Copies of this chain bind each other. A is one copy, B any other.
Amino acid sequence: MKKVLVIGEVLVEIMADTIGEGFLQSQPLTGPFPSGAPAIFADQAARLGQPVAIVSAVGDDDFGRLNLDRLARDGVDISGVHVDQDRPTGSTFVRYRENGERDFVFNIRHSACGQLHVTDVVTKLVENADHLHVMGSSFSSREFVKLNLEAAKALRQRGGTVSFDPNLRKEIQSVPWLTDAMARILKMTDLYLPSGDELTLLTDAEDSPGAIAELLNSGVRAVVQKQGAAGATYCDVNDTITQNAFPVRECDPTGAGDCFGATFTSLWLRGFAPKRAMALAAASGAIAVTRLGPMEGTAGLAILEAFIQAHRRIT
C-alpha cells in the first residue's frame, strides 16, 4: 500500500456548547478534542488501514498528549511529531452561529505547530513517502509551506503523487504568500480536492466547467469538488461522477471535509473505481458530521460499508 505523508498542524479544538456569537462571555464549552485538518486527514486514512505519517509539533502538555495518543491508537505514524518543551499545543475555540457560520479564537502560529523541526526522522519520512497530501490550512506557517513544496517536488520526481485540499481558514486568508504557495502546489497536484467556491480560487476561469477544464488541462488528473450537504462531484478527462450527500442529522460539520478527502484519497491510491471511492468518501463525511468533535467521526472501511448498506435499506 502507498505510504501517505501529511505535513501540518496538530491542534486541540474547544467547542462552545451553545449557538451564538463568539466568546465575549463565559459559557459552557466542551473539549479539548484532537484536531487540525492534516491530523484529521491522517487519522481517517489510518482508520482505513492506509500507512500514513504526520509531520508536526505539539507542546509538552495534556493537549499534545491527547492528540498523540489518539493518532497513535488509530495507527498514524507520529515519529515525525516534535514535542516542543517551550511552546504550547495549538488550539482553536469554535462557536457556531445561528446561520451556520463559525466564530474562532485561534492559537496556531505561535504555538508548537507554528514551528517546524526538520529532523532526520522527518527527512526519512519524506524520502519514504509515496504520496503527499497537502492541506492549505497549514500555509499560515512559512516553514510548513516550504517543507510541503520540497516534499511535493521530491515525491513527484521519483514518481510519487500529490493531493491538495486548499482548505482555506478565515485566519490565513490574509497571509501574503498564500496564493503563490497554493499555485505552486497546484502545479504539482495529481488529485485536487477543493470545497465549494475554492474550485475557482486558483484558476483563471471563473465558472465551474471552465475551472475543471483548466485544471485537467494543466496536469491535475482528477478534481473532486466537495459541497457539504449538497454532495460532491468527481471529474477526470473521461468521467464526471456526481455523489449525493447521505442525509444525516448534522451535529458538527467540522472535520467532515477532511474525512471525505482522506477516504477518497486513500481509496484512489488503491485504485478503487472513482464511483465507489466517492460513495465511501461521502459515507465518511456523513459519519463525521454526526459526531461532536472534528476527529471523533473517523471510521474504518467496514463501518463505511455498513453505513452505506444501512442507508440503502432505509431509503
Contact = CB atoms under 8 A, between A and B. Distances in A.
Nearest to A103: B62
Nearest to A105: B61
Number of copies: 2
Contact of A26 (B25, B26, B88, B293): B293
Contact of A62 (B24, B31, B88): B24
Given A88-B110, A107-B111, A110-B87, A30 B30 contact: no
A300 interface: no
A156 B190 CA distance: 69
A192 interface: no
Interface string A56-91: 000001110110010000000000000000111101
Nearest to A109: B86
Contacts of A62: 22-24, 103, 105
A89 B106 CA distance: 9
Q: Is the interface of A mostly helix, strand, loop or mixed?
A: mixed
A32 interface: yes
Contacts of A315: none
Contacts of A66: 23-25
A27 interface: yes
A17 B26 CA distance: 13
A286 interface: no
A14 interface: yes
A31 to B, nearest CB: 5
B26 A69 contact: no
Interface string A178-192: 000000000000000
Contact of A88 (B69, B89, B105, B293): B105
Contact of A63 (B17, B23, B69): B23
Given A14-B14, A26-B33, A88-B107, 6 more contacts: A26-B31, A26-B32, A29-B31, A62-B105, A88-B105, A88-B106
